[in-house]
Structure 1
Amino acid sequence: MKQLFSALAMLMLLLAPGAFAKSQYVSEDLFTYMHSGPGTKYRIIGSVDSGEAVTVIGGQKDGYSQIIDSRGRKGWINSKYVSDNPGLKVRMPALEKELKTLKSALNNAQQDADSKQKGLVESLELRSKQLQELEVSNSQLRQKLEEALTEKRELSAKLDTQKDDLLMRYFLYGGIVAGVGLLFGLLLPHLIPKKKQHPRGWA
């Protein structure tokens, strides 16, 4: 009976660590020694590298935690070197991947910004060119308008001169006609011979 109880007790001790097993990590020191018991008075059975994942299989005792390392060795290490957070060595690939993703996103954003800036510059240059062309066209139109106004003024002046000349001609022709009529009226009586009267009157 006593042997059966001892066997059951040993079985419980073997099964109990697995029931409370918990994955944790060795903190970022170079390495820490693993002892055969909870303290430095126990012999060193190996070392655990920093950042290595270990399985805590029991509670703490005298500031030490019982673990199983990645090579399956069971021992005790100082609890201050055990952390719930993965070490930098474990997190480094994920951090590098995240950094690469961020760099790629930043590069894409920069390229997009450069592309938009280039498009804005090209659009601004096009608008500036169109504005210059409009200014040249406007200047040409103003010049043509001034030439048209000058030509209009010249034509108006010529028309006024022609009107004055025509009016003078009317006056001149009218004067000539009047003079000729007056002269004809004065000369006509002298040109028509007078009839001689019969001494006894009209026959």
Structure 2
Amino acid sequence: MKHFISFFLFCFTLISPIANAEQAHYISDNLFTYLLKGPGSQYRIVGSVNAGSPVTLLEKDNGYSRIKDAKGRTGWIESKFISTDVALQERLPVLETELTTVKAKLAEALSTNDNKHSDLNSALAQRNSQISTLETRNTQLQNELTIAQDEVRSLRAKIDTQKDDLLMKWFTYGGLVAGVGLLLGLLLPHITPRRRKRANGWA
């Protein structure tokens, strides 16, 4: 049990070192240690100090240390029971505060990450919607272009047909005009002399 607590205190020391640890000393026994009248086990016990209690180191002598506890009492204890590591009961609130801070930062980071993911998903959905709209519009334009191309081909065919009809009409009119001209050319010479003869006869 004693070794387990020492290892536990050592792990907490690595996680959260305390400044000026060399100026403070603590009782490191697992329960309590006796406070003696002098630097040796032959001296009578004048009290006890609980584990983790802060003490002031006054002097050392032959494996014993004279200390002053928080109650103002002075006495001697074995030096092996004194540690410069901050007691767990003092470090625990600090560790709890640090843990609360870390949890808050983690929650904030997760919230920020969720917000970023939400913004990205929203932007992605918006882009997908825009792409879908553009694709629909592109399909519509392609259909309209196909219809327009069909109409252009139909109009060109009509224009070509009208050109052919117009040429046929011109050829027909030209033939008629030529025929009428030829006919008049043949008839006029015969008609003109008769009129002159008749005119001469009446005279």
Task: Say yes or no: TM over 0.5.
Answer: yes
Residue 190 of structure 1: CA displacement? 4.9
Once the two structures are superposed, the pairs formed by residues 5-84 of structure 1 within 5 Å of their partners are 23-27=24-28, 29-57=30-58, 59-84=59-84
Please name the residue that 2:144 is paired with: 144
Counterpart secondary structure, 1:37: coil
Q: Counterpart amino acid of 1:146?
A: T
Q: Distance in 1 between matches of 2:129 and 2:46?
A: 82
Please name the residue that 2:156 is paired with: 156
Percent identity between the aligned chains?
Answer: 51
1:115-167 per-position Cα deviation (integer Å, ceiling 9, x unaligned):
11111110111011011101111111111122112111111111111111101
Q: Counterpart amino acid of 2:33?
A: T
1:48-91 per-position Cα deviation (integer Å, ceiling 9, x unaligned):
1111101122x211211111222222211111111222111111
Higher Rg of the two aligned structures: 1
CA RMSD of aligned residues (A): 2.2
Aligned length: 176
Q: Counterpart amino acid of 1:162?
A: Q
Does the C-alpha gap of structure 1 residues 124 and 28 become closer, same or farther in structure 2, counting only changes over 3 Å?
A: farther
TM-score by length of 1: 0.78
Q: Distance in 2 between matches of 1:65 and 1:159?
A: 121
Q: Is the 8 A contact 1:28 1:88 kept in 2?
A: no
Residue 191 of structure 1: CA displacement? 4.8
Q: Distance in 1 between matches of 2:153 and 2:140?
A: 20
TM-score by length of 2: 0.78
Structure 2 unmatched ranges of 5 or more: 1-22
The structure whose residues are more often helix, as a share, is 2
Q: Is the 8 A contact 1:38 1:66 kept in 2?
A: yes
Q: Distance in 1 between matches of 2:180 and 2:172?
A: 12
Q: Distance in 1 between matches of 2:89 and 2:148?
A: 87
Please name the residue that 2:4 is paired with: none
Q: Counterpart amino acid of 2:119?
A: G
Q: Distance in 2 between matches of 1:126 and 1:31?
A: 68
